[in-house]
Amino acid sequence: MILTGAERAPEGTVDAGTAPPAARVSELVERAGPSGAVLVALESDAAEPDPGLMAAASVYAWLGASVFRVPAPQVDGVRQVLDMVAAIRGTRPPAVARRGLA
């Protein structure tokens, strides 16, 4: 789930803070269990997709964070990153499957 601005996180979501250390996110995800959600806030002043923010989102998603608060210009890029991580982890099928046959 991606939130922007002042949108409220779902009830029971644990807030990890803004750009928290990876160890903290891992710990909160472990404590929250399979039914819990961990919120990570990421900030950027960039009007275009910010590569650093996308990289951070991918790491947090891999660690198990499931709710992200990002600036509005970053929403589309973060959505693509979260879809990619889910496909790599095997929790959702890839959007497109191509074979490299010549």
pLDDT digits (tens, 9 = 90+) for 38-69: 999 999 988 888 999 999 999 999 999 999 99
Burial 28-40 (b: 16+ CB within 10 A, else e): bbeebeeeebbbb
User: What's the mean pLDDT when you consider all of the chain?
Assistant: 89
Tokens of 67: 């709710």
CA gap 30, 28 in Å, rounded: 5
Q: Match 């990421």 to its residue by tokens.
A: 42
- The per-residue pLDDT for 6 is 80
- Record the pTM: 0.85
